Amino acid sequence: MSEWDSMDLIYLVGVLVLVLSALSVRKLSIGFVLRSLVTWALIIVLTVLAVAHRHEIGAVFAAATAKLGIDDQQVDGETVRIRMAPDGHFWARVKLNGVEKRMLIDSGATITAISARTAAAAGIGESRGMPVMIETANGTVTARRGRIEQLAIGPLETQDLGVVVSDNFGNLDVLGMNFLSKLHSWRVENQTLILVPKAGASETGTDASVAPEPQPKRRLRRDDI
């Protein structure tokens, strides 16, 4: 459990103690007190679960809005605009070797990270070398390096992108800086993430990359995996 999770738990326990104290002062019936305890316990459990799985919930919500016709990702020429999701993050519809996935765009992640399930669905092989140790908020996990033959967000495409793959990432797929650094620019305006390709990218096979790809680092700077 991280330091922030411990502080949240202490805060919730403190709130529960205050509620119990208030109930005891009012000298209410045992039945009412028990019902109140159960209600508060459910609220606390649901809150903890919602915080722990906020990214998965955000991905589900983003997929649901897409099915309802609410377009949170738009293409303007060669530029892609992605609106901020209700969870405060940016989720992109990404094609990995032609397979569409919802991915969290995270500038704090050094390298793109995908789950083993996503890698299998997109036909992304894992290297047979030594596993890479990835430091996350939940501790150190093992992952293997891999390569995505083609990754596309609308008209933005790149080939042979390095990734790390692990079962420990759950259902969360993260698009990191090794993709964002291939763009001409990216910025946030009015709660919208704007991805701009390098000039002439469409004339070179719609590859967002012109500069060589940085080598994968052993540390994935992501606090939410």
**Domain presence at residue 222:** no
Beta-carbon contacts of 121 under 8 Å, excluding residues fewer than 6 positions away, are: 99, 101
pLDDT of amino acid 97: 95
**Domain presence at residue 161:** yes
Residues 13 and 89 in one domain: no
Helices (H), 68-207: 116-121, 177-180
Residues 104 and 195 in one domain: yes
Residues 83 and 175 in one domain: yes
Residues 35 and 82 in one domain: no
Residues 75 and 47 in one domain: no
> What's this model's pTM, rounded to 2 decimal places?
0.59
Residues 21 and 122 in one domain: no
**Domain presence at residue 103:** yes
**Domain presence at residue 225:** no
Amino acid at 125: G
Render each residue's pLDDT in the chain as its tens digit; 225 residues. Answer: 444 455 565 666 566 666 666 655 555 567 766 777 778 778 887 777 766 665 566 666 655 555 544 468 999 889 999 999 888 899 999 999 999 999 999 998 899 999 999 999 999 988 877 888 877 666 788 899 999 999 999 999 999 999 999 988 888 899 999 999 999 999 999 999 999 998 765 443 444 433 333 333 434 544 444
pLDDT of amino acid 57: 62
**Domain presence at residue 211:** no
**Domain presence at residue 21:** yes
Residues 7 and 116 in one domain: no
- Spatial strand order in the sheet of 79-83: 73-76, 79-83, 192-196, 185-189
- Cβ neighbours of 90 (radius 10 Å): 25
pLDDT of amino acid 130: 82
Task: Dump pLDDT digits (tens) for 146-179.
Answer: 999 999 999 999 999 999 999 888 888 999 999 9
pLDDT of amino acid 142: 87
Q: For the chain, what is the mean pLDDT?
A: 76
Residues 111 and 184 in one domain: yes
3-state SS, one letter per residue, for the chain: CCHHHHHHHHHHHHHHHHHHHHHHHCCCCHHHHHHHHHHHHHHHHHHHHHHHCHHHHHHHHHHHHHHCCCCCEEEECCEEEEECCCCCCCEEEEEECCEEEEEEECCCCCCEEEEHHHHHHCCCCECCCCCEEEEECCEEEEEEEEEEEEEEECCEEEEEEEEEEEHHHCCCCEECHHHHCCCCEEEEECCEEEEECCCCHHHHCCECCCCCCCCCCCCCCECCC
Residues 46 and 95 in one domain: no
> Containing domain of residue 197, as a range?
71-204
pLDDT of amino acid 164: 94
**Domain presence at residue 30:** yes
How many domains does the chain divide into? 2
**Domain presence at residue 155:** yes
pLDDT of amino acid 33: 65
Residues 17 and 111 in one domain: no
**Which CATH number covers residue 160?**
2.40.70.10
Residues 45 and 79 in one domain: no
Residues 81 and 12 in one domain: no
pLDDT of amino acid 60: 62
pLDDT of amino acid 210: 34
